[in-house]
A and B are shown apart, each in its own frame.
Chain A
Amino acid sequence: MPIVCLGLNHRTASVDVREQFAMAEGQLPELLEQLCKTTEATEAVILSTCNRVEIYAVTDGQPPELLDAMRDFLLDGREVEENVFYEKIGTDSVEHLFKVASGLDSMVLGETEILGQLKAAYQLALEHKRTGGQLNKAFQKAFNTAKKIRTETQIQRGSVSIANVAVELAGKIFDRLQDRTVMVIGAGDTSEKAARALLSRGAKSVIVSNRSFDRAEHLANELGGKAVQFDDWESEFAHIDIIISSTSAPHYVLDRKKLEPLQRLRRHRPLLLVDIAVPRDIEPEVNFLEDVYLYNIDDLQAIADDYLRLREEEIAKCEAIIRAKVKELFVLLNGSPVSCRENPTRRAAGESPAVSPATS
C-alpha cells in the first residue's frame, strides 16, 4: 500500500491559483470524509496553508488511479493549467513529506511554521479517524525527522532579513534587550521593521526622530514609543543603546566628532549603530571608537547573504538525514520502496530539485 501525494505549492502555482484551492480549517473534516468516499483512499491527510495545498493518501488499489481521482477531487470543476500539480508515489512522496516538515520545501528555507501546520493537519485527520498504520508512521517519522534536522543542522539558524540581522547583532553585544532603548532616526520602512523586531525581542522602549515630526509621532504611537524633534535627538543620547538610522539626508547625521563626547556621556556603554540609509547617515570612522559597533546596509546585507549560503550548505546534510529516515520508515512498514510513476509532464511541475531557497 504505497503512500501518494498530490499537491500544488508556491513554486508551481501563483497566488491567484493557490487561493482558489485554499481550504478553511472548518471544511477539512467534511472534505476528508468526501475524499475517502469518492476515491480509493483508505487513509488521507489534507494540508492547506497559504503556500501549499497537499493531499497525502494511501490506497489498496493502483496509485495512478488514486492520483487521478485526487486530482479530480481537488479540481472540483475548476480550470487550471495542467502543470500546477505535482504527484509523488512511494519513497518520493515520503521524502517530499519529510522535506515539507523540515521546512526544506518552504518559501523561506528552514522555517518552522510549516511543521506546526503539518502537525495540525495530521491531528485533524487522526481525530476524524482518517489515518491508519501507514500515514501514522509516516507522519510521526516526518515530525521526528524535522526535529533531528532542527537540532543537528543549522538550516533554521539565522535570518535573511535585515531587521532580524540587526536583532541578532544586538544579542551579541547586549546581555539582554529588556532594559535597552532603541532610537529610530528617520522613519523609513526598514528601520520601522528593525525597531519592531527589537521590540518584539523585549527592547524596553523606542524613541523616534524624523524631519517630519508628524511622521515621527505617528510611528512612535504605533510602536508605543516617544517622538523627539529631529534637531533634539542628541539630547536623548545618554539613554540610547541602539540607533537605527535611515534618513534621506545627503550628509552624515552622526560623525565621530559628534559621537566622541556623547560616548563619555553614556559612560562608554556599548552602542550598536545600524545605518541603513543610502547615502550613509553615519560616518564610517565612528566604528574606530571603542564600544561602538557600526553596521551599514552593505554589512547587514553581507551577513544576510552569508546566512543564505550557510543554509544552502546545510541542505546536503538535511537531505542525507531525510534519505536515512525514509529508509528507516520503509523498514518499519515492512515494505520495499515503490518506484515513481513515469509521468514527466506532471511530475516535472512540482519537482523541487535539491531544494533551493526561495527568493520570493
Chain B
Amino acid sequence: MNWSDKAYFCIAVTIYGIGMVYSIFLWRKGFRRDDWAVYGLLGIGLVFHTLAMALRGFSLNQCPITNLYEATAFIMWTIVAGYLVVGVWQRFRFVGAFASPLLFALGVFALFPDMDPKVDHDYSGALSSLHKALLLLSFGGFGLSAVGAAMYLTQENDLKLHKFRAILSKLPSLERLEAAMAKLLWVAFGLLTAGLIVSTAYLHEEKGVWFTADPEMLWVLGVWIFYLVLLVLQTRHVQSGKRFAWGALGSFLFVMLTFWGVYLLSPLHQSAAS
C-alpha cells in the first residue's frame, strides 16, 4: 500500500473528528467518566499524524513547515503531543475532550484547497527550519493553554451557576487549571522568544539586517508583546482567574484567525516560498 502523506493526515483528522463527537457525549454526561477513550483516540490519531509529517519531511528533505498546510499540521501535532503528555495525569485527561474540536477544526482548515502549494525552497538550512519550528511549537503551546482556558471557563461557569455537574465532573480544580494554563503559556512564550531570536539571526544571515517591517515579523512581535502583558498581569494578580482564561483563549483565537492572512501578506515569506 502506497499512501500519500495527505491520506495519513486525512485519517488523523477523521480520528480527531471521532474524538470530537465522543467529546460531545462526554460533555452531555458532565465529564463524569474517566476519559481514556479520547486519550486513546488522539493517541492513534497522533500516530497517523506523525506518519504524515514524517513522509512529507522525507520528501522535502527538511522539516515539513514550508506552507500553511504544513504549518497548521505542525501546530496540531504539538497540541496532540502536549496533550498526550499532560493527559498521563488523570485530572488533565479531559483536556482531550476540549482539544479534539479544536484539532478537528484546524485539520479541516489545513485541508482547504490552495493551502498546500508546491513551493521552491530558496531558503533552507538549520536556522530556516529552526525558526519556523520554534514559532509553530510555541503556537501549539498557546493552543494547549487555550484548551485549558476553555476547561477553566466551563468549570467556572458551572460553579457560578450552581450546576450539579460542577461537582460531579472530573475536571481539575479552578486553581490547578489556572496554574496549568500559566505554566503552558510560559513555556510557549519561551519558545516564541527563542523563535523570534532565531528568526532575527536568520534574517541577518540572509538579508544582512536584524529587523524589517515585514507584516509577519511585526505580527509575531505583536503576539509576543501581547502574551508578555498577559503573563505579567497574571503574575501580578491584576488579571487572574476568569480574565486570564479569556485572555489565553482569545489570544490563541486571534493568532489562529490572523496567522494565515499575515503569512499571505508577508513579502518576506512569500518571496521565500516562490
Contacts and interface: CB of A to CB of B under 8 A. Distances in A.
B182 to A, nearest CB: 12
A190 interface: no
B166 A295 contact: no
Interface residues of A, number: 25
B159 A172 contact: yes
Interface in A237-267: 267
Contact of A290 (B162, B173, B242): B242
A14 B237 CA distance: 57
Contact of B162 (A174, A270, A295, A310): A295
Given A173-B174, A270-B175, A168 B241 contact: no
B176 interface: yes
Interface in B127-170: 155, 159-160, 162, 164, 166-168
* Chief secondary structure at chain B's binding surface: helix
A267 B240 CA distance: 9
Contacts of B159: 169, 172-173, 293
A291 B241 CA distance: 7
A311 to B, nearest CB: 12
B162 A302 contact: yes
Given A173-B174, A295-B162, A168 B167 contact: yes
A268 B167 contact: no
Contacts of A269: 237
Nearest to B167: A168
Interface in B204-253: 237, 240-243
B176 A268 contact: no
Interface string A150-167: 000010011000000100
Given A158-B167, A290-B243, A295-B162, A172 B237 contact: no
A299 interface: yes
A274 to B, nearest CB: 12
Interface in A263-300: 267-270, 287, 290-291, 293, 295, 299
Given A175-B173, A268-B237, A268-B240, A293 B160 contact: yes
Q: Most chain-A Cβ atoms within 10 A of its Cβ — which of B162, B175, B237?
A: B162
Given A267-B237, A268-B240, A268-B241, A171 B162 contact: no
Contact of A306 (B164, B175, B241): B164
A157 B155 CA distance: 19
B237 A171 contact: no
Contacts of B241: 268, 270, 290-291
Contact of A173 (B32, B173, B179): B173
A74 interface: no
Contacts of A174: 173-175
Contacts of B168: 154, 157-158, 310
A303 interface: yes
Interface residues of B, number: 19
A303 B155 CA distance: 16
A63 B176 CA distance: 58
B160 A287 contact: yes
A323 B159 CA distance: 38
Interface in A158-203: 158, 165, 168-169, 171-175
A270 B152 CA distance: 13
Nearest to B175: A175
B72 to A, nearest CB: 34
Interface in A307-347: 310
Nearest to B162: A299
Contacts of A158: 167-168
A317 to B, nearest CB: 13
Contacts of B242: 290-291
Contacts of A172: 155, 159, 166-167, 173-174
Contacts of B175: 173-175, 270
Contacts of A173: 159, 173-175
B60 to A, nearest CB: 45
Contacts of A291: 240-242
Contacts of B237: 267-269
Nearest to B165: A306
Nearest to B239: A268
B165 to A, nearest CB: 9
Given A173-B159, A290-B242, 9 more contacts: A171-B173, A172-B155, A172-B173, A173-B174, A175-B173, A268-B237, A295-B162, A302-B162, A302-B164
8 contacts: A158-B168, A172-B155, A173-B159, A269-B237, A290-B243, A295-B162, A302-B164, A303-B167
Interface of B: 32, 155, 159-160, 162, 164, 166-168, 173-176, 179, 237, 240-243
